Amino acid sequence: AQNKKIKVGALRFTSHSASFVALERGYFADAGFDVELEFFQAAQPMAVAIASGDVDYAVTAVSGGLISLAEKGAIKVIGGALKEEAGIDGQQIVVSDAAFQAGLADPSQLDGKDYAITQSGSSFHYVGSNVASAEGLEMSYKPLQKVGAIIGALRSGQVDAWNIVPHIAKPLAGAGAVHIIGAVQDYLPDYQITTAFTSANNAANERGQTKDFLAAFSKGIDDYNGTMIDKSGGDAGVDEMVKLIHKYVYTDRPIEKAAPSIINGTMRLSPNAALNVASIQHQLSWFQSEGLVDADITLETLVDGSYVEMINI
């Protein structure tokens, strides 16, 4: 296919860098795609947009909504993206300054605390719940919808704890607004945070196109991992990559201010978009056990494993 128009959904987060790189470096074009990036404010509408056919491919966390749409036969997960990896700063567990001053310095002390989430069935809910069960304690979950509302609630000490990507956690901690008391990867090693997904139709009937997309997307992943984590290009390579990402992320800040945030946000993207199926199954089971989605949904309903490597089967 030549110059096939496709739409790729994205959030203005560093975790979506693979798409930015693939577009900027022409990997999509090489694969015969004329890609238009479609930006969203939140992950949930992006999933719905895939279902409605407004967007062809996108990357987002596994959420109750995503599973629900998969159950309705609208979408399929086809690959992996952001993941936790030992040795790389991943999502952090943070607590409010007030709670910290009151002595909350370790996740094991979270019993009875208020844990901020955006919505029931969000990835925050999943993480919080797993931390709680690992430590054998109970927390109450406060749905606050918006990241902004959560930050406000943390700053004013109205909720005690939260988990968030490093590039948001670190500056907040630096400003003294919150304190980092642990890492998510201690509780969920190899957690597959985000996945690449598409409409069920694309997965089943546009196999060639989907394969090509994943290939180009994987090149973007390789570039990103190589430059930002393995430092194959040295500092100059990092600078150039930061410049590229800055076209899409923190655009309203000058590059000097944006660069630290972009660098702080660096996490591993699954090489070759490989998918950690064990993690996905774990997430699905959790959603089911919480009664958020139907209990009879199988992994096959959610994932089309024919495209990329399935790890840990």
Partner 1 sequence: MSDATANAGVQRPVAYRGGGFAPSPRRWVGFVVFAVLVVLAEWGTRSGWISPLTLPKPSDVLDTFGDLYKSGLLFQHLVPSLSRLFMGALIGISLGVVIGILIGLFSYVRAGMVPVVAAIFPIPKIALLPLFVIWFGIGEGSKYALIAFGTFTPTVVATYGAVDNVDRTLIRMGQSFGLSWWSIVRKIVLPGAMPGILSGLRISLAIAIILLVAAEMLGAEFGIGAYILEAGSLYDLERLFAGVVILSVLGVFVSVAVGLVERRLLGWRT
Binding site residues, partner 1, CB under 8 A: 38-42, 44-49, 51-52, 54-55, 63-65, 68-69, 72, 74, 119-122, 140-149, 151-153, 155-156, 158-159, 252, 292-293
Cβ-count burial of 176 within 10 angstroms (0-12 exposed, 13-18 middle, 19+ buried)?
Answer: exposed
Which of residues 55 and 161 has its CB atom nearest to partner 1 in the complex? Answer: 55
Which of residues 52 and 232 has its CB atom nearest to partner 1 in the complex? Answer: 52
86's tokens: 């030992």
Among 56, 37, 41, residue whose Cα is nearest residue 203: 56
Which of residues 156 and 312 has its CB atom nearest to partner 1 in the complex? Answer: 156
Closest distance between partner 1 and the C-beta of residue 54, in Å? Answer: 4
Which of residues 8 and 273 has its CB atom nearest to partner 1 in the complex? Answer: 8
269's tokens: 């993207």
Closest distance between partner 1 and the C-beta of residue 274, in Å? Answer: 27
Question: Are residues 146 and 170 in contact, defined by beta-carbon separation less than 8 angstroms?
Answer: no
Which of residues 63 and 195 has its CB atom nearest to partner 1 in the complex? Answer: 63
Question: Are residues 197 and 57 in contact, defined by beta-carbon separation less than 8 angstroms?
Answer: yes
Closest distance between partner 1 and the C-beta of residue 291, in Å? Answer: 11
Q: What is the DSSP letter of 52?
A: H
> Phi first, then psi: what are they for 231, rounded to 5°?
55, 35
Question: Are residues 223 and 21 in contact, defined by beta-carbon separation less than 8 angstroms?
Answer: yes
Closest distance between partner 1 and the C-beta of residue 150, in Å? Answer: 8
Closest distance between partner 1 and the C-beta of residue 10, in Å? Answer: 11
Q: Reduced to 3 states, what is the DSSP secondary structure of residue 220?
A: helix
